[in-house]
Amino acid sequence: MLSRTIRSVLTKTNKCFVNRTFTNCAPRFSGNALLEHVDTDDNRSELPFDFTPHYWEEANKILAKYPPHGKQSATVPLLDLAQRQCKGYVPIQAMHKIAEICGVPRKQVYENATFYAMFNRTPVGKYHVQVCVTTPCMLRGCDEIMEALEKHLGCKNGETDSEGLFTLGEMECMGACVNAPMVVISDYSNPPNFSYDFYEDLTVESAIEVLEKIRRGQKPTVGPQNGRPNSLGPQGRTSLFFDKGSEVQKPYCRDINAQPENKEQKK
């Protein structure tokens, strides 16, 4: 939310910043700007939902981690399983099933599903492209990347392109600010397999090229797109000089069984 406040202030004083409204995969806004569910043919509470045998096996592994009175702790991982099974989104009937499994009110599952940007509540394209819009990425050009991707794909933030291939969205902090700006592209189209790949150190040109490689059926290199390894700065590695595969030097730890020094004898 801090980044959105800063963006609001900067937009008033500097027209180069794009003023956008937060959205999460084609939501519907009510008069007070809160997200609300809209029934569709395949996303309404009257429809039945159950996990497939494969995902029930995974669900039982998750539930086994918690005591019987703590099943509500499985809400988020079960939402993730439902999204994988449903090819990239969590329909409301799946939320109701998860509430039943966890023994919690439905609204508690709604709260989790609407809070986390990783959960989509409406269908998405084969590839879900989310642009990080937190402050470091904003300062490094995420607004320009979002604007360029909207123009390139012919759809707005929260919408899917005409081919049904890409859905464009945004996300708060992806946790790799030193590699700003960045996007994450997920593909849930072939369950139980899925991918969730981060592309970092982007420019407008390299962001578009990543999408075009995916469109051509190629697999872009995951990670920084400017050629640097991981998050190394211009000086290269300045710490952690051990080689890959070698034994990591352990931090110093005193011998707790050693007898204390006799200071008088040392004199």
Q: Which residues are known binding-site members for [2Fe-2S] cluster?
A: 132, 137, 173, 177
- Contacts of 91-94 with CB under 8 Å at 24 or more apart are 91/42, 91/43, 91/44, 91/47, 91/49, 91/121, 92/37, 92/43, 92/44, 92/45, 92/121, 93/43, 93/44, 93/45, 93/46, 93/47, 93/48, 93/49, 94/49
In the annotated binding site, the residues are 132, 137, 173, 177
**Contact predicate 173/132, CB 8 Å:** yes
Pairwise CA distance, residues 192 & 94, whole Å = 16
> Which residues lie across from 128 on neighbouring strands?
167, 186
